[in-house]
Structures are given as C-alpha cells and as structure tokens.
C-alpha cells in the first residue's frame, strides 16, 4: 500500500481535491494506485534510473567543477490533462505562437507595432537579442520561430497562465518522449486501461516542419550541435536520430559559392535547412563573436541571401526576452484582432518608476527575474528568500532597474510525487512544444517539470528539478493511434 499525503493544501492539486477525493480524469490511475505496492514501485523507479543512464539521458550543469553528467530525476506519477482542458491550451498556444511570429516579422520589416506605440521601440531596438542584420530579410512563410516551447503554470484559482515563451533553442522534448517510453515499459497496464494521446509523432512533425521551412524540393536537413559537452547534447543526437538526419558540428560544415556544404565521405553535400542548437552569438565568427569555435564562418551571408534556412531564425530571442513578455497579449490583439485565450502572469516592469516603487515595497512577496536570465538563475523568490538575499536584490534593482521584471508569487499547482516512503505534493509546470511550418502542429501534452524539494517553486533541472510524463486523455481516438 502506498502512503498518500492527503493533508489540506492551499494549492490547486492536479489529482486530489478537498478531503482527499480524486479528480474524475484520474479515476483509472487512482484505482491502480490503491492496489500498487510501495516496494514494487520503488524497484521500478530504480530500474528507470538505470535504463535512463544506459541510454545516456543525462545533462551537465554549467559552472560546476566536477563536470559530471547527471540524470534528470524521473517521477512515475503522471500529470493527467482531460481532453477539454487540452483543447483550450492547444488553441491558446497556437494563437500565441502565431502572434509572436507576426511580431518578429514586423520588427524586422515595417515596425508598425513600434510606430503605433504598443511596444516601446527602445525595448526592442536596444535589446541585446535584437539583430539588426535581420532587418529587411524575407523568410519563407514569414516564420521565425519554427520550434517554440511555452512554459505554463496553473495558479491557485485553477487557471493556466503563461510564465514565459522559449523561441531561441527550446529544449526538453526528448525528455517528454523518453518519459512516455519509460512509463509504457514500466506500467503497460495503465495504457491498456486508458486512451492516452500519443507523443511519438513529434519527430515526424519536426522533420515535416523543417522541410516546409524552405521552398526547396526534397531539402537536406541537419541538426547543428555545439558538441557533446553541451548540456542538451543528448537531445540533439536523439532528435537527429529520430528524424533520420545528420548530426553535425561546425567542423562538418563549410561555406562555398553562396551555399553551405557538409563534408561527407562521398564529397561535399549541399545543406538546405539547419536546425541549429547554437545561440546567435556563436553561429558565425565572421559576423558575431570572433572567438566562437562553434559556428560556421560565412554562414550569415548565405542565410541573408536565402541560400540556407536556420531554424529558429537569427534574432528570435528578442521576442522571448522577459522585458517583451508583458506585451504579448497586446500583440495578439494587434496582429490577430483576438482576445488572448491564455493570460500572462501579472508582471511589473522595473524600468517603470511606478512599477519599481511597488516592487521594492513588496519585495518579500515577489518573484524577480533578470530579463535575459534563463535556467532558474538570477532570480529572487521573495517568500523563501533570506533577508540578505532580499537586500542584495534591492541593491540590484536600484542599480539597474531596466534589467529586471517582477511577478506575483503564484501558488503553483501541485501533483503527487514519489518521495521517501510515499506520495507528497510537489509544485509543477508544463512546457508544450509548437511547430510552425505550413501549419502549426502540437503533440498533445508536453514536458511536465517538478520541483522535487519540498516547498520549492523552481522546477529547472539545473536547480534540482525532475520530470513527469504528461498524459492527455482522448475522447475520440482514431484506430491507428498508439501511445
């Protein structure tokens, strides 16, 4: 028998309601849980860790001296989403990605939204992620963010909120897929009892999206990785293998006669689409950082001339910068003439004097983030911070207010998670992945990340977070669907 923490909690719990009753979409899993054996579950947890290590599903934490590869902890209690709820999320994410691509095309062309004063011009044009070299460059289908990851959280009111957009080189989809394969291997009986939407189509959707990013017939696609020391190298190699395309590093590519070529044993092979997992600054040492050993000299000139497609496009980072995030609802209204389906987390821009005053007066209640920060670094979580940490951030805000935004500390939803000798609530988020080609494609679900430390709100793997499988229950599955 598995011990379940049924104590009252101020947070919205994905599985449990008041007095320990379960939500209806967890019915089949709840019945299984009542009969599950704690020791058997623990053995399967150990088996999963061993299998993940054998496959090489590891990551590195930058800045740590030991340089050791680590497993991202995997929790076998799924996060389950009913079909009607997913339909709303799916529509909201499609709307958001469409508006963000329209925004990127606009700021690199006519800049109508800046001239209209809806987004302050200095927030864009002076942004470190804005790339003047992209001004006036026409991209196929006007698509900049071919792959997008949208981070979602559910608040104490039960409503979903968008926490941030990831448009540069969003990662984590390999863990989504491997989590599903692991759950099917460990607990096949759970999939026999329920109609769970598949995620296995993601690689074919990704390849189709990349092929649709160019007008070239039968294009040659590659995945460009910084190399095996990158924290997401497993994902780079995984996606290349799943799509059946070459995984390349900068030494494998060269520029000649206005095109990009790959070195092969059969001679040079022209490349049409590069799914790059390298940041803008390192892509071309002739155009960006001269000390970069990760990029391809001359790549930018070929790209600007339309000789190769980069996914995602250079300069997409300006649209997922945290200083631009507050304006996304207005982008949706401006470009699509629609009200946002998904709301932002209420956000204060510290560059504004009135917002800064409010944040400073309520610092112990706020989450403060660097506008260019990522990975859970450079953050203050007021309610759990020490007095010294709060005072340090107060000094930082006084010194460079434009470098920070602040948000309400949401009561992030929880999901029961295996800890110690039973189940206890842990905070989670959700990252669905949207692919934009001839159309926008999403596989149902996404990567659920979980903050394993009790009371923690930080789900990032670099900060000790883990992952869960995400199940979207189907209402009317097709006969050929398989998980």
- Residue 284 CA to residue 262 CA, distance in Å, equals 16
What is the predicted pLDDT for the residue at 477?
A: 47
**pLDDT averaged over consecutive 10-residue blocks of the chain (483 residues)?**
73 87 93 89 88 75 53 90 97 98 98 97 94 97 98 93 94 95 95 94 98 98 95 94 98 98 97 98 97 97 98 97 95 98 95 95 93 72 91 95 90 89 91 98 96 84 83 71 47
Two tokens, residue 450: 């979980």
Q: What CATH number does the domain located at 87-146+198-336 have?
A: 3.40.50.11290
Q: What CATH number does the domain located at 346-408 have?
A: 3.30.1490.270
Look at the pTM and tell me if it is higher than 0.85.
yes
Q: What is the pLDDT of residues 394-430, one digit of tens each?
A: 999 999 999 999 998 888 999 999 987 789 999 999 9
CATH 3.40.50.11290 positions along the chain are 87-146+198-336
CATH 3.30.1490.270 positions along the chain are 346-408
- Residue 130 CA to residue 281 CA, distance in Å, equals 11
What is the predicted pLDDT for the residue at 393?
A: 95
What is the predicted pLDDT for the residue at 482?
A: 47
């Amino acid at each position: 028998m598995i011990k379940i923490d049924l104590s009252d909690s101020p947070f919205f719990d994905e599985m449990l309601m008041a007095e320990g009753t379960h939500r209806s979409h967890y019915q089949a899993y709840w019945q299984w849980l009542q009969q599950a054996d704690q020791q058997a579950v623990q053995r399967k947890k150990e088996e999963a860790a061993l299998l993940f290590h054998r496959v090489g599903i590891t990551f590195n934490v930058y800045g740590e001296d030991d340089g050791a590869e680590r497993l991202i902890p995997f929790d076998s209690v799924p996060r389950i989403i009913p079909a009607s709820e997913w339909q709303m999320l799916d529509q909201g994410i499609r709307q958001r990605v469409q508006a963000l691509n329209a925004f990127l095309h606009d700021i690199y062309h006519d800049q109508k939204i800046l001239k209209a004063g809806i987004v302050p011009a200095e927030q864009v044009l002076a942004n470190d992620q804005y790339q003047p070299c992209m001004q006036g460059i026409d991209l196929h289908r006007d698509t900049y963010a071919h792959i997008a990851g949208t981070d979602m959280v559910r608040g104490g009111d039960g409503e979903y909120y968008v926490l941030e957009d990831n448009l540069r080189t969003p990662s984590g989809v390999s863990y989504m897929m491997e989590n599903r394969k692991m759950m099917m291997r460990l607990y096949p009986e759970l999939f026999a009892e329920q109609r769970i939407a598949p995620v296995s189509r993601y690689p074919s959707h990704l390849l189709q999206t990349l092929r649709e990013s160019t007008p070239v017939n039968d294009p040659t696609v590659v995945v460009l990785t910084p190399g095996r020391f990158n924290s997401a190298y497993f994902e780079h190699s995984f996606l290349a293998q799943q799509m059946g395309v070459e995984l390349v590093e900068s030494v494998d590519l060269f520029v000649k006669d206005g095109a990009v070529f790959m070195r092969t044993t059969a001679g040079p092979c022209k490349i049409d689409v590069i799914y790059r997992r390298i940041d803008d600054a390192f892509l071309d040492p002739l155009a960006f950082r001269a000390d970069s050993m990760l990029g391809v000299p001359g790549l930018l000139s070929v790209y600007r001339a339309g000789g190769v497609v980069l996914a995602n496009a250079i300069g997409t980072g300006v649209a997922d910068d945290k200083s631009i995030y507050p304006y996304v609802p207005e982008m949706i209204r401006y470009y699509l003439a629609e009200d946002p389906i998904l709301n932002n987390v209420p956000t204060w821009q510290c560059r504004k004097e009135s917002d800064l005053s409010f944040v400073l007066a309520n610092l112990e209640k706020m989450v403060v983030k660097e506008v260019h920060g990522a990975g859970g670094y450079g953050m203050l979580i007021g309610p759990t911070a020490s007095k010294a940490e709060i005072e340090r951030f107060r000094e930082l805000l006084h010194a460079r207010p434009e470098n920070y935004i602040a948000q309400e500390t949401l009561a992030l939803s929880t999901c029961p998670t295996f800890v110690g000798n039973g189940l206890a609530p842990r905070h989670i988020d959700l990252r669905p992945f949207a692919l934009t080609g001839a159309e926008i494609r999403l596989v149902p679900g996404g990567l659920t990340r979980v903050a394993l430390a009790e009371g923690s709100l930080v789900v990032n793997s670099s900060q000790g977070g883990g992952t869960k499988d995400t199940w979207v229950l189907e209402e009317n599955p097709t006969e050929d669907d398989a998980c």
